[in-house]
Amino acid sequence: MTQRKRLSNTQSSSQSKRQPSSLVAQEEDDDATFTQPSTSQVQRGLEKLTPAQIDQKTAEVVQYFLVKDQKKIPVRRADLVKHVVKEYRNIYPEIIKRASRTFDQVFGLKLVEIDAKTHMYILINKLETAEGISPINSPANPKMGLLFVILSVIFMKGGVVRENVIWNTLKKLRVDPGEKHEEFGDVKKLVTDEFVRQRYLEYVRIPHTEPAEYEFHWGQRADIEVSKAKILEFMGQLHEQDPQSWTQQYREAHSCPSSTQASTSSQR
Amino acid sequence: MSRQMGDSHRRFLQIMMVNGIVDEHEARTLYQHCCERHNTQHVPDKLDEFIDIINSKLQPMFMQIRKGMSEDNGQQYYALVNMAETDVTRMSSDYADNELELFRKTMDLIVNTENGKASSTDILNSADTMTTKKLKKSETEHLLNRLVSDKWLSEKRGEYTLSTRCIIEMEPYIRTMYQDQVKVCHICHNIAFQCQICEKPTCGIKIHNPCVARYFKGRAEPRCPACDDFWPHEIPEVRRPHSQSRR
Ligand SMILES: [Zn+2]
Ligand SMILES: [Zn+2]
């Protein structure tokens, strides 16, 4: 399914940036130069602007997030300030507050800061999180189906698995990471790059392995968006087994449902 | 009916953001699904009012769910459009400058033909006259495939037309850019690309194929609604709605 394209000029430069790791250090410097303005600074900034100007800037910020969200790419505060907020940086907290309100009231989305150190934001679907994403209520998207299988394997194996376990599981489902798949294209790239950039998965090198071996964990977005209880329910249906029979997983799935560190960004 | 935006509206909007465009039948099904999902009242013939509520909240974001007709099958479609950008630069987050130039050239070709179609050969030839970085033949072919899968163009037997979504979204741009070339349909008053034209030189009105089908249905002798001359073209059948939808 194609995604909407919208808003362009403001983010074409950031879009082309593939974030090679060498650039990250420099970008963090950019962020360091941005200091959160104080309440009184914001107040003074707002007095100099017309409501229409503030609305316009808020709309640009909203569209920027929506474009990134289509590809599920997290937004860095530094990029947002540099490419969109620009000369309005002195009222940044007010603009983010208004954008959050719009996401909430109009789009049913929640703006969440997933990393307080690098100031990384993602949009979470508020209409789904109540029950969590699952293959049962979103069967239309095959990529999500594949992701769900991988998350299930990781969860059932206690939160971390070596990559060959994932590849073997996928092969059993006739999805071979070594071959080009009709629906997913380059499967290995989808899993180790796209899902990782979207923060659904973490793909990390196991220390002291030579040649390098990798393992998978759940990513931050998965922690927030995906319901572990739903996964157990799914596994139960698959294996015709009572979800409660997986004692440890059942306990984890049903202990404090929102055990995420993510905080709402409405005040940032 | 309440003018407040609820979760049913939000869900509808979210699905529109993913799909970009849906036909009227899909929109109605979606409307019902969203209302049932959030236990809100579903009034079958109030789809447009339901969408108006969403649009009133989208307006400050320069976005809108806009209705338009497919030139291909005459069905109504709903597309989520962005009004912040008024021309093809809206596509620049997904296409390079030279790719956008080729898209503009394709639009030029389509607007300047009588039947609203451009052949792949003509498009490939126009690629030779590009001022930005030239595209190779294979790159142009690949680009055309992408434009079709992103729903900016439609393709049938090697001929390209502007997609319904493209026409709905870019109508204001097309009207200003091609003021002298663009004609509107005599029946529905929307811009017309794929259409029939009155052959009397002093008249020359255009009518969309689906509008022709509806207008002349059941008339013994088709005559031009403007000049009353005989209408010499083959009158297409009125298509049944909900058949295979094309975008
Ligand atoms: Zn018409
Ligand atoms: Zn005539």
Same domain, A98 and A151: no
Same domain, A136 and A244: yes
Over range B59-81, report the average pLDDT: 92
* Cβ pair B84:A59 closer than 8 A: yes
The per-residue pLDDT for A256 is 58
Dump pLDDT digits (tens) for A79-95: 999 989 999 999 999 99
Look up the CATH number of the domain holding residue A200: 1.10.10.1210
Set of chain A residues whose Cβ sits within 8 Å of the Cβ of B53: none
Report which of residues A238 and A105 the model is more confident about: A105
The per-residue pLDDT for A24 is 44
Domain that holds residue A221: 132-254
Enumerate domains of chain B plus CATH numbers: 8-82 (3.90.1150.220), 89-178 (1.10.10.10), 184-237 (3.30.40.10)
- From its phi and psi, is residue A34 left (phi > 0), alpha (psi between -120 and 50) or beta? beta
The per-residue pLDDT for A68 is 86
Of A58, A106, A127, the CB nearest to B11: A127
Same domain, A245 and A161: yes
Number of domains in chain A: 2
Domain end, chosen from A87, A112, A128, is at A128
Dump pLDDT digits (tens) for A123-142: 988 887 544 555 444 445 77
* Cβ pair B92:A4 closer than 8 A: no
Dump pLDDT digits (tens) for A29-63: 455 567 788 888 888 988 889 999 999 999 999 98
* Cβ pair A6:B57 closer than 8 A: no
Computed from CA positions of residues B174, B179, B182, B186, in that sequence, does the dihedral angle turn out positive or negative? positive
Ligand nearest to the CA of B214: 1
How sure is the predictor about A226, in pLDDT bands with cuts at 50, 70 and 90? confident
The per-residue pLDDT for B245 is 45
How sure is the predictor about A151, in pLDDT bands with cuts at 50, 70 and 90? very high
Domain end, chosen from A62, A94, A128, is at A128
CA A27 to chain centre: 20
Q: Which of A11-20, A185-194, A251-260, B208-217 has the lowest mean pLDDT?
A: A11-20
Mean of per-residue pLDDT scores for chain A: 79
Same domain, A48 and A90: yes
Ligand nearest to the CA of B185: 1
Residues, CB-to-ion distance under 5 Å, ligand 1: B 185, 187-188, 208, 211
CB distance from B214 to chain A under 8 Å? no
Report which of residues A83 and A17 the model is more confident about: A83
Specify if A1 maps to a domain. Answer: no
The per-residue pLDDT for A22 is 43
Over range A226-253, report the average pLDDT: 84
Distance B112 CA to ligand 1 centre (A): 18
Same domain, A154 and A199: yes
The per-residue pLDDT for A138 is 46
Ligand nearest to the CA of B222: 2
Report which of residues A24 and B156 the model is more confident about: B156
Residue A5, pLDDT > 80, answer: no
Instruction: Give one DSSP letter per residue of B136-170, joined into a string.
Output: PHHHHHHHHHHHHHTTSEEEETTEEEE-HHHHHHH
Minimum Cα–Cα distance from A14: chain B residue: B93
Q: pTM for this structure?
A: 0.76
* Cβ pair B61:A106 closer than 8 A: yes
The rounded percent of chain A whose pLDDT value lies above 90 is: 34
* Cβ pair B84:A6 closer than 8 A: yes
Mean of per-residue pLDDT scores for chain B: 89
How sure is the predictor about B238, in pLDDT bands with cuts at 50, 70 and 90? confident
Set of chain B residues whose Cβ sits within 8 Å of the Cβ of A67: 93
Over range A98-110, report the average pLDDT: 95
| DSSP run (H or E) holding A113 | strand A109-115
Domain end, chosen from A73, A103, A128, is at A128
The rounded percent of chain B whose pLDDT value lies above 70 is: 93
* Cβ pair A105:B57 closer than 8 A: yes
Specify if A267 maps to a domain. Answer: no
Same domain, A154 and A109: no
Residue type for A64, please? Y
Choose, out of B11, B21, B53, B61, the residue to mutate when testing the contact with A (most A CBs < 10 Å): B61
CB distance from B55 to chain A under 8 Å? no
Burial of B202 (0-12, 13-18, 19+ CB in 10 A): exposed
